[in-house]
Each structure stands twice: as C-alpha cells, then as structure tokens.
Amino acid sequence: MTLINDHRTTTRRSSELSKRSADVFAEAEDHVVQITRRDGEPLVLMSQREADARASLLQFAADLITVTLDDHGTLASRMADRFPWMLALSEADRVMCAQDLVDAARASFSTGQPHLAIAELTSWRETATAIAAGLGSASVEWLDDDEPVARP
C-alpha cells in the first residue's frame, strides 16, 4: 500500500517543479503531490501537517494492534490500559469510546483520511480530560424557552 492512495493526489513532472515551484508548493499545501522523475523513483511532496497526520495515524494503528494482541479483558479495558486517559470515563463511556475509536480507525484506513481517526481520538481524550477536571459534574441551569434573553 502506498502513502498516496488519496484521491486528491496529483502528479507533476520534476521539470514542472523546477519551472513552477511556487505553484507546485502551493498545491502541496493543499494535497499530496507526486513528483515523477525520468532518472529515478517518484518522490512525494506534502505539507508537514499532512506528514504529521499520517505519522499519528500509523502510531494509532500500532496502538490498536497492540491492544488486539492482548486477550485479557474486554476491548474497553485493554484500550484503557493503552490509553490511560480513558480511565476518567465511566465504564459505559469507555465501551462507547473503544468502539468509536476502532470504527474511526477503520474508516481512516479504508479512505486514506487520517483526520477521521485522529479527530475521534482527540475528541474522546479531551472529553476525558474535561471530566477529570470536574467539568462534567457541574449542574447546568437551562433557560426556559419563554424567558427573554437580553442581547447586545
């Protein structure tokens, strides 16, 4: 499998890179650009953001593989061992989190879109952080629909 299975990848010749580098660089800020060469294997040009997202997805994949190799306990408990921040979640939320993360990872791997899994992982981790900070235990006072709200 190649890292450039993304439908947004474009191909440019190395001569285009040397003649119109600003255009090719601008394109690479938006999506992956494959640079073909007559005298060598193609090269890939991408933003640091894209490279970091792909590296994060590979690390997440490694973590998920590690979790699946362990056969003790539930998926949620094995994932909480790998991702200790999950311990701030309730047992039911850990189960939901584990399944959501696996589903998002599968979607990311099958579509070549790292942001799907990374966004889900970040969202759950931030939720756990907020709960650990006590933000989930404050009572919420809802306004009645009939009450007028003063707006500036």
97 phi, psi to nearest 5 deg: -60, -50
Task: Note if the pTM is more than 0.85.
Answer: no
Cβ proximity of 72 and 64 under 8 Å: no
For residue 148, name the pLDDT band (cuts at 50, 70, 90).
confident
For 114, other C-beta atoms within 10 Å of its C-beta total 21
Distance CA 25, CA 32 (A): 10
For residue 1, which of 45, 58, 48 has the smallest C-alpha distance? 58
Among the listed residues 63, 61, 65, 91, the one whose alpha carbon sits nearest the alpha carbon of residue 77: 91
**Spacing of C-alpha 103 from chain mean position:** 12
Q: Is residue 75 packed enough to be buried (19+ CB in 10 Å), middle (13-18) or exposed (0-12)? A: middle
pLDDT digits (tens, 9 = 90+) for 3-55: 444 557 889 998 888 899 899 999 999 889 999 999 999 999 999 998 998 89
Domain ranges across the chain = 10-46, 49-132
Which helix (H) or strand (E) element contains residue 56?
helix 48-69
User: Thinking of the domain 10-46, which architecture would CATH place it in?
Assistant: 3-Layer(aba) Sandwich (3.40)
